[in-house]
Amino acid sequence: MSALTVRIDPHVHSEGSYDAHDPVELILEQAAEIGLDAVVVTDHDVIDESLRAAQLAPMYGLVGIPGVEVSTADGHLLALGVEELPPRRRPLDETARWVRERGGVAIVPHPFQRSRHGIGRRRLGRYHDAAGGDAFDAIETYNSWLFTGYKNRRARRFAAKRQYPGVAGSDAHKVGYVGRAYTEIDIPDVSRASLSGDDILDAIRSGSTEVQGRRTPIPTSTQHYAGAAGRKSAYYAKRGALGSALLAKKGAFKSGYYAKLGALKSGSLAKTGVAQAARMLYRLSPLSR
């Protein structure tokens, strides 16, 4: 069996993050439409939406992998394949070890970009040396949110010199940017039908990765983002329609309830009136004397 090539965007943010707004359903739909095999929702220090995305992924023909972008004492760290939130504000090596002990993959995102909580080169080097060259599993050597290629090139050189696998991630905070950068992974002896999240994580650890994040021609980019905009509009239109239907149903139920309540109240008042009239007639009749 020949190797299976898998395309994954391992760094995407949903409305679970404080700085993003799109629901995981829309992110999954976009990922499937542009030909990805998996997308990992890595919200900032929260994991609930990522767990939900991993559960929903097979409905979109995608492999479900949960994850999170956790804030360590040294900067951000991507934790792929974990189902609970790693401890926050702990040293990088301690957090990476926590992730790996639970079967996850620890990836250093956007290194050297301190304005975005990337880990500095000297500190990253110290952790590498202290761990004997095995401080984490991979480095994000292409992040599509960097305005120039300088920091990406530095990350690529650092990873190559120290023999860490390189991955690419879109770091998308809007659905139209999902897949702007992605990682290609070759996995031997696996069929697409049997492909699992563990297969993908094992392949990242082994270094069977290739970064894909080159600039795309303007017509391709236009089509890519226009498609995402169309899907976003359709999604919110559908959600609005469902919301309106729910409100209408709720309103009809409420109206029915109050109508029934009014009828019962009217019946009760009528019954009370009849009883009062009967008592008055009785007091006026000779029988009451």
Highest mean pLDDT among 109-118, 224-233, 255-264: 109-118
**Continuous H helices in 8-149:** 24-33, 48-56, 92-101, 121-130
**pLDDT at 34 exceeding the cut of 70:** yes
Which region among 17-21, 185-189, 215-219 has the lowest average model confidence (pLDDT)?
215-219
CA-nearest of 95, 57, 89 to 197 is 57
Helix axes 24-33, 218-284, angle to 10 degrees: 150
Q: Dump pLDDT digits (tens) for 150-199.
A: 889 999 999 999 999 999 999 999 999 999 999 999 999 999 999 999 99
Which region among 35-44, 129-138, 200-209, 219-228 has the lowest average model confidence (pLDDT)?
219-228
Paired tokens of 126: 């110290």
**Continuous H helices in the chain:** 24-33, 48-56, 92-101, 121-130, 150-162, 197-206, 218-284
Give the C-alpha distances (Å, rounded to integers) separating 136 from 43, 161, 287.
Answer: 20, 15, 101
| DSSP bridge pairs for 98 | none
Measured CA to CA, the distance from residue 163 to residue 191 in angstroms comes to 28
pLDDT of residue 84: 97
Percent of all residues in the chain with a pLDDT value above 90, rounded to a whole number: 64
Task: Categorize the per-residue pLDDT at 114 as very low, low, confident or very high, splitting at 50, 70 and 90.
Answer: confident
CATH class of 1-215: alpha beta
pLDDT of residue 208: 86
Percent of all residues in the chain with a pLDDT value above 70, rounded to a whole number: 73
Q: Are 67 and 38 in contact (CB under 8 A)?
A: no
pLDDT of residue 166: 96
Domain boundaries, the chain: 1-215
- Pairing verdict, β 76-80 and 4-12: unpaired
Distance of CA 153 to the CA centre of its chain: 27
Report the chain's mean pLDDT, rounded to a whole number.
85
Q: How far apart are the first and last CA of the chain?
A: 108
Q: Are 209 and 167 in contact (CB under 8 A)?
A: yes
Measured CA to CA, the distance from residue 205 to residue 200 in angstroms comes to 9
Q: Are 175 and 33 in contact (CB under 8 A)?
A: no
pLDDT of residue 130: 94
